[in-house]
Structure 1
């Protein structure tokens, strides 16, 4: 499997209440300088990464770039690396940003997968989350994207929000599957300490969903979307068939090499992982000084690689191929952990099928624990 390229665009118009990713509100004047630094950063990796079959623009808010800026960046990528003719090129979008005309330009320059950060179709919840778009803007963005030719269209939704119950969440899902979307990412609200919501919770404002309530949301989501024809292929991700599975994100779950460009972006190749400096100021200074903007790196041991392989594979419906795992890491899980595997199977959390150890729907709900086999 070819490597993937991730480009982190660290700009936002405003910071969402739950967001812990590195982003800079109200710093759009720095975009031209950032894009020039991005182009120069690519040169540092030409010998290590020669080709990609996925490109993913994430953030931050990549839709603060103009279509022309996106197009020039894609051309810069093509100049520095080989991009497969059938490459999946994804960009994330805030519904309040690009117009139908903008989306048409993006489609024409080669972006073939769009992921729209809808989060909710309830204006009250959107306000609570600090989103700057409305439900109507989200619906319009989806309609516009379909009309200009985006067949591979996904949206992000969020559940477990204070005041939200499973019934209203299922209403949101019903509205979502009625849209022309091929992919859904459904995330539970996670409250990080250094966010607006984290500071609210520290002051004893509304509590986030508890563990049993989280499981209720998760299982209700999985059942509903399965009945609607979506494949639950990873803990948080659902696709209308295998053609619409995220090829880029699948690389993360299968230990496939990927290169991350931009502030705070992570990269992985063979047993080495490294990550860029988090600050845009430090990133620009490093590139201006002809230095790779790397903050730190680590080389994973065989044991660490084996644990990660289990952890990542058991987050997916594909699961873990036992014989391939044994050959690569020298561990016979079935032989060494037979009693535990049988217990997990009896509890309905895993199953064996065609040589794969696979999590069931209930197992996906506790996927992180399964990796501790």
Structure 2
């Protein structure tokens, strides 16, 4: 499929993991690392085809899985393909787990990575065990400290709303991140996805009443600005994620990756063996203008991006403005509380 020159966003999926956490239902595998060469060979074919007719990329995101299960050398050929499309302002993010080689961080930076997104999830030993993470608090602390010394943007993921969480314990965890000098934090409420091991075991270690407002209050006090329901920035925002919420077109490369080009949603094959055999095969879902309008409302209301007023039912909008659930500015509508954005979007649509 030919890609238009306006596509500036690229997601690259690396499906390998050392272990699978109980809550995780992502497209990742713990027993296929021996096939990394075959996977990367297919990924490069997929990548070269996807970049056809592209001039440059605003953002590249390596997600997974655990991208740093692979060594920096494993990515050298991938970056040779990417190099002509990378400019001075291209954001290049890699997701990392903190149990991996700390000394590889500088080598990843040398490849061109300029933003690390580290899946810490918690700084507490008991909570890490509950979540079935395979690192400990000391490992996470040292890994983040070393990442920050690389002098690039560092973001961390934290999970909350586990049965072990209180406002006080979360404040302690977030203070540690702040004291380390982390500039961006993504806080995700624990959810048990249908295909996860926790779901299959009927295990649900979540809190009944969410601590999302407490999270926001704590991060406000540490001068982190909430610019999306789960994302808080101190010294940088995620260009890649913002582009999704702005409804920009994007390419997905790799096993099970998803892209959207104009009115087509493109799904790469989700079967590992089939993807290796034919990385260019994909399925396409046609989206109509109404599909895209609804998507813009859901994505815009959950973030600082907002929604064009033309996409919203005027009568319902007046009610939300009167109740101060939304505000209007320059012909765009913004939710005043991102935590109820899905409910607002459902009501408006």
TM bucket by the smaller chain? over 0.9
Residue number in structure 2 paired with 1:112: 114
The aligned residue for residue 267 of structure 1 is 259
Checking the alignment, whether the CA contact within 8 Å between 2:43 and 2:253 is kept in structure 1 is yes
The gaps in structure 2 that reach 5 residues or longer are 1-5
Query: What secondary structure, in the 3-state scheme, does the structure 2 residue paired with 1:141 have?
Result: helix
Secondary structure at the counterpart of residue 333 of structure 2: strand
Q: Distance in 1 between matches of 2:48 and 2:136?
A: 40
Partner residue in 2 for 1:86: 89
Secondary structure of 1:14's counterpart equals coil
Residues 23-63 of structure 1 show CA distances to partners (whole Å, capped at 9, x for unaligned) of 11032111111111111112322335443121110000001
Post-superposition offset of 1:70: 2.4
> How far apart are the structure 2 equivalents of 1:107 and 1:207?
37
| Shift in alpha-carbon separation, 1:206–1:280, aligned structure 2, 3 A | closer
1:178, distance to aligned residue in structure 2 (A): 1.4
SS of 1:341's partner is: helix
- CA change 1:51–1:105 in 2 (3 A) is same
Match of 2:327 among 324, 328, 351: 351
**Quick one: which of 139, 142, 145 aligns to 1:143?**
145
Aligned 8 A contact 2:246 2:305 in 1: no
**Partner SS, residue 25 of structure 1:** coil
- Asked whether 1:25 is paired with 2:30, we answer yes
- Cα RMSD over matched residues? 1.7
What is residue 40 of structure 1 aligned with on the other side? Answer: 45
Counterpart in 2 of 1:312?
299
Aligned to 2:206: 208
Alignment partner for residue 368 of structure 1, among 337, 342, 346? 342
Structure 1 position 84, deviation (Å): 2.2
- CA distance in 1 between counterparts of 2:290 and 2:261 reads 16
SS at 1:133 equivalent: coil
Q: Distance in 1 between matches of 2:204 and 2:50?
A: 46
Give the conservation status (yes or no) of the 8 Å contact 2:198–2:204: no
What is the correspondence of 1:110-259 to structure 2 with a 5 Å cutoff?
110-150=112-152, 152-200=153-201, 202=202, 205-206=203-204, 208-210=206-208, 213-214=209-210, 217-241=211-235, 244-259=236-251
Q: Structure 1: how far apart are the matches of 2:333 and 2:263?
A: 24
Q: Aligned to 1:121, what secondary structure does the other structure show?
A: coil
Q: Residues 313-369 of structure 1, C-alpha deviation per residue, up to 9 Å, x if partnerless?
A: 1110231232xxx3xxxx5x3xx433x334323444211233321111xx2111112
Supply the distance in 2 between the matched residues of 1:119 and 1:229 (Cα, whole angstroms): 20
- Do the aligned partners of 1:91 and 1:114 also contact (CA within 8 Å) in 2? yes
**Unmatched 5+ stretches in structure 1:** none
Q: Does 1:282 align with 2:274?
A: yes
Compared CA separation, residues 206 and 313, structure 1 to 2 (3 A):
closer
Match status 1:297 vs 2:271 = no
SS at match of 1:255: coil
Give the TM-score normalised by structure 1. Answer: 0.87
**TM-score normalized with structure 2 length:** 0.93
Determine if contact 2:298/2:345 at 8 Å carries over to the other structure. yes
Give the aligned length. 342
Q: 1:232-255: per-residue Cα shift (whole Å, max 9, x none)? A: 1111101114xx110111121111
Q: Is the 8 A contact 2:97 2:119 kept in 1?
A: yes
